[in-house]
Amino acid sequence: MAQIDPAFLKTSEALGELPLSHVRLHADARFAWIVLIPRLAGARELEDLSSAARAQLMEEIVLASDAVRAVGQAIGRPSGKINVGQLGNITPQLHVHVVGRGPDDPAWPGPVWGFGEAEAYGPEDLAAATAAAKAALGL
């Protein structure tokens, strides 16, 4: 079982556990944004997962996409597009970003990674986002 890199603990809130991955809400109110962290110690790339685990990760990405759309509705930032990214250039522990996007978001049409500074959630929006995400994820 992998420990979660402290970098994620500082920048996101736990939503719960899917069969393969920890699921976290990325704490940036500019975007509806979920991070999946497969629970395999030492994994850095998709090739470090078994083929079966990769298929499961893909299904968790699609489930997280639904959750991102629900978060977007909850915080008044509807997501017309989903962006998925597996980078890890800064935090090497394998993780996948699932982010709601649209022409009204501040980084559109560029990528969100490294774009400006995160904006803290207010407590009401954080509660609404978390509740919406958990409901969509079945958590």
Contact residues for a second copy (CB under 8 A)?
Answer: 44-47, 51, 54-55, 57-59, 61-62, 65-66, 81-90, 101, 108-111, 113-114
Q: What's the distance, CA 105 to chain centroid?
A: 17
* Closer of 22 and 97 to a second copy (Cβ): 97
The pair of three-digit structure tokens given for residue 84, joined into one six-digit string: 């998925």
Q: How far is the CB of 63 from a second copy (least distance, A)?
A: 10
* Closer of 17 and 81 to a second copy (Cβ): 81
In the chain, the amino acid numbered 52 is A
* Closer of 69 and 121 to a second copy (Cβ): 69
* Closer of 29 and 46 to a second copy (Cβ): 46
| Contact assessment for residue 126 and residue 10, using Cβ atoms and an 8 Å cutoff | no
Q: How far is the CB of 18 from a second copy (least distance, A)?
A: 15
Q: How far is the CB of 17 from a second copy (least distance, A)?
A: 21
Q: What's the distance, CA 38 to chain centroid?
A: 12
* Closer of 29 and 58 to a second copy (Cβ): 58
Q: How far is the CB of 113 from a second copy (least distance, A)?
A: 5
- Burial of 124 (C-beta count, 10 Å sphere; 0-12/13-18/19+): exposed
Q: Got the DSSP string for 15-29? A: EEE-SSEEEEEES-T
Question: Which position has the token pair 């992998």?
Answer: 2
Question: Which position has the token pair 């509740």?
Answer: 131
Q: How far is the CB of 112 from a second copy (least distance, A)?
A: 9
